[in-house]
Structure 1
Amino acid sequence: QWTASFLRANPDHLVMVLNNGLLRFWPQTNPEKEQLFVKQLASMLKHVKRATVLCTDTFTDVFASVLLRVQQNLASSHFKIVDETIELLKDKLIRQCIEYHGGESGWKAIYVCLIRVAHTHYLYLTRNNSQQIMDWLKKYRITKKYVTIFEKLEQEYREKEEEEKTQPPPPQPPQQRAPQQQQQQQQSLA
């Protein structure tokens, strides 16, 4: 609550709050706290919601860290974090920030993470959520222009997956000899 009132009073301090607060102390080992941090990230941006702050160059640098955090969350092994991050992507303001600050490269990075989640996550509900947001991003007004890029990324992933399936397993290294056998062999050579 205090961050909301602080950001409403001083929206220019969002960069400081994100850099020196939320992103700096992001929990690495506690999924429940990490889930709260994802929610807090969205609420901070909603409280500011001003073009004068969200469209500045200083915020572009911070948002690069936010994009990296979103990618890391999508790669998380904990399903709640992945699901919460997918929910974060449904927020219009987040998508607008990704478009403004990340553009094509930002969407590519996020979409690659979504593809991995849709194909490899252990929980089928999370895989379905990822597939739904991928389909939705292809239809959304802002990201509709990236449909060919998204489809190309999906095709590349499928080709890579097929290639990995058709490759034979790597050869097993020969078993090492016991140290006594190695010594005997060295002595016989000498």
Structure 2
Amino acid sequence: MVERREQETTELGERIFMDCRLDNISTSSPSAKRNPPSAIFPSNVVVGIVPLVAFKDVPDHEKEKLLIAKLNHCCFIFDFSDPDKNSVEKDIKRQILIHIVDYVSTETFRFTESAIATCCRMFMENLYRTFPPRYRTAKTNGRENEEDPPVYDPAWWHLQIVYELLIKFVSSTSLDETIANKYLDHIFISRLLELFDSEDPREKDCLKIVVQKIYTKIVSLRPYICKSINNILYTFPFEKQKHNGITELLEVFGTVISGFEPPLKEEHKVFLCRTLIPLHKPKNLGSYHLELTYCLTQFLEKEPKLSSTLINGLLKYWPVTNSQKEVMFLSELEEILETASAVEFQKIIFPMFRRIALCLNSFHYQVAERALLLWNNAHIVRLIAENRWVILPLVFPALERNIREHWNRLVLNATQNVMKTFTEMDEELFLACQSKFEEDRKLQETMEEKHRMTWENLESAASVSKLCV
């Protein structure tokens, strides 16, 4: 199959090559104006090597020159906005890219420094580009970038094979780290990470693989990769709030966090507090919430005592006008509490259960129901039972108001189950809270009646004064 592909491309290339030669012959007189070099054969190819020749047709000592010629040939970029423009040339480039991938996949192939340098140049020429304005559409509705139809890059016909070659390049056992460092430098990495802003999901999937391979293979680049991703994630919630690759960047960083060794370094904790936790702020949290939660739980696995820090961060960015985000926050809160120790739990009881009480009384039934589901978690119920003297007085008024006022039957049933759980925990405390609630309710009614009478007296006095005037 590969040989047939090479043969077809070679025949097509030979025809075009002969056409180019005839053009040059017809204009070779001194008075004739020379045509510009053909796009098929850019001037930067290796002299004497025709890039359309198949690898099997040249001796072994010429194969590296042929590889470099093919790579140089593929540095020419075509315009894919018009599918009919340069269609033959585009097909030739694609076939040459396929030949290169097939060649570097052979067991005997080894990357030399010349091949590494030319490969990196070809990657930069093809991949590094500025996305058109349509790629910069603002995502104003918080749920949901995943609901938007994906935008596919028309140049993927070539880009796909370039990415395939890049993955093989960074995965190759013959790639010497010392030599690769000269070409896979900070500029290369920075430009590579910028490509995560692409809207094409296929490209971002390839980028994830490439960055993870580079991070694993080239140890010296790890600090810079982490720093660069950190910079993108850090600026996102405060400056841009528009980026198409936050999900994928968090996936990459999730694998990085999983490799951290406890105890965590101070710089890792700073990254958690200053970069990851503020990612709860943007409206489009739903598009990357699962990946963000995974990163946070990875931190908790390494150092469980960070649970109070995470919960305080959640409370800081808690959404008060976005019910869908509130449901996500409650789900994340449950995951964090599952790993919380009794000591860490006690640190955040008051602010956390004040917020939970507000969620219990939410008229958005999904928020109220999700808050009530916390009592279905055995570990959380155990922590609540150990601190019931503090927690029950905080949430009892909200539970009682649900019983009396909430409109949703599911919420009513779940509230009754929670009340039953508290009764079984400590009936005496439950009755005391119930008595206190009734006292407060009667006091509130008395105060409201007093305020009503005061206003009636003021209105009457104002009417009398008006008549006297």
Work out whether the TM-score is over 0.5: yes
Question: Quick one: higher RCO (CA 8 Å, sep 6+), 1 or 2?
Answer: 1
Q: How does 1:144-183 map to 2 (within 5 A)?
A: 146-154=426-434, 157=437, 170=452, 172=456, 173-174=459-460, 182=466
- Encode CA deviations 1:2-42: one digit per residue, 9 max, x unaligned: 111121122222222222x2111111110110011011001
Give the CA RMSD over aligned residues: 3.2
Q: Does structure 1 conserve the Cα–Cα contact (< 8 Å) formed by 2:422 and 2:430? A: no
Structure 2 residue aligned with 1:71:
357
CA spacing shift, 1:2–1:85, aligned 2, 3 Å: same
Structure 2 residue aligned with 1:55:
342
Q: Does structure 2 conserve the Cα–Cα contact (< 8 Å) formed by 1:76 and 1:82? A: yes
CA spacing shift, 1:72–1:176, aligned 2, 3 Å: same
Structure 1 residue aligned with 2:401:
116
Amino acid at match of 1:111: F
Residue 168 of structure 1 and its aligned partner are, at CA, apart by 8.2
Amino acid at match of 1:31: S
373, 376, 390: which is aligned to 1:105? 390
Structure 1 residue aligned with 2:304:
11
The percent identity for this pair of structures is 20
Structure 1 residue aligned with 2:321:
29
Q: How many residues align structurally?
A: 169
Q: Does structure 2 conserve the Cα–Cα contact (< 8 Å) formed by 1:120 and 1:127? A: no
Separation in structure 2 between the aligned mates of residue 158 and residue 59 of structure 1, nearest angstrom: 29
CA spacing shift, 1:45–1:107, aligned 2, 3 Å: same
Q: Does structure 1 conserve the Cα–Cα contact (< 8 Å) formed by 2:353 and 2:391? A: yes
Structure 2 residue aligned with 1:132:
417
Structure 1 residue aligned with 2:368:
82
Q: Does structure 2 conserve the Cα–Cα contact (< 8 Å) formed by 1:121 and 1:127? A: yes
Any unmatched runs of 5+ in structure 1? none
Q: Does structure 1 conserve the Cα–Cα contact (< 8 Å) formed by 2:406 and 2:412? A: yes
TM-score w.r.t. length of structure 1: 0.72
Residue 160 of structure 1 and its aligned partner are, at CA, apart by 7.3
Q: Does structure 1 conserve the Cα–Cα contact (< 8 Å) formed by 2:365 and 2:411? A: yes
Q: Does structure 1 conserve the Cα–Cα contact (< 8 Å) formed by 2:300 and 2:307? A: yes
Any unmatched runs of 5+ in structure 2? 1-293
Structure 1 residue aligned with 2:275:
none
Amino acid at match of 2:301: R
Q: Does structure 1 conserve the Cα–Cα contact (< 8 Å) formed by 2:345 and 2:383? A: no
Amino acid at match of 1:14: S
Residue 85 of structure 1 and its aligned partner are, at CA, apart by 0.8
The 3-state SS of whatever aligns with 1:23 is: helix
Separation in structure 1 between the aligned mates of residue 436 and residue 397 of structure 2, nearest angstrom: 10
- Encode CA deviations 1:154-189: one digit per residue, 9 max, x unaligned: 45656877996xx98955544965xxx94x843xxx
CA spacing shift, 1:129–1:175, aligned 2, 3 Å: farther
